[in-house]
Structure 1
């Protein structure tokens, strides 16, 4: 992991490095929003574009609308244990 990423995101860098070591950079980029980005709920994580191995010509990020949909899904997920109901009930 680059020193810049470690300096800017000291808590997240070990998780990202572990994922790279176990699965490789391509896997991390393909599964970033599902596997690593949710850590942003408890620690400061970089945007996918900030990863040192991200290449904008080869990889995609999510749109603003997709990000809003993801956050809404997380909110529904967190609400379920509090209310004991399923979404839509």
Structure 2
């Protein structure tokens, strides 16, 4: 028997389903790394290409290096906001 994403990621499934219900599958796929994937810090999250409505012919994923770079940039942005500094100061 094949496991579904809901079986493999029972904690994450309600969050993903809520986002689909509120915004639709296309929105979830477009905003996955920004809005949902960071929940992986507190629970197991599926990769974007594991979502049942993901179509590799229509959608793209980010590499691990691209995700790391994006999250590092966000962390620097938050730090700049916290300290009131501008980049390079």
The aligned residue for residue 57 of structure 2 is: 57
Gaps of 5+ in 1: none
The CA deviation string for residues 30-88 of structure 1, in whole angstroms up to 9 with x for no partner, is: 0000100010011110000000000000001112321221343465478x4xxx64576
Aligned residues: 84
The aligned residue for residue 66 of structure 1 is: 66
Q: How far apart are the structure 1 equivalents of 2:74 and 2:20?
A: 25
CA-CA distance at 1:4 after TM superposition = 1.1
SS of corresponding position for 2:6 = helix
Gaps of 5+ in 2: none
Q: How far apart are the structure 1 equivalents of 2:54 and 2:68?
A: 22
Q: How far apart are the structure 1 equivalents of 2:48 and 2:16?
A: 11
- Could you state the TM-score of these two structures normalised by the residue count of structure 1? 0.78
Q: How far apart are the structure 2 equivalents of 1:29 and 1:4?
A: 18
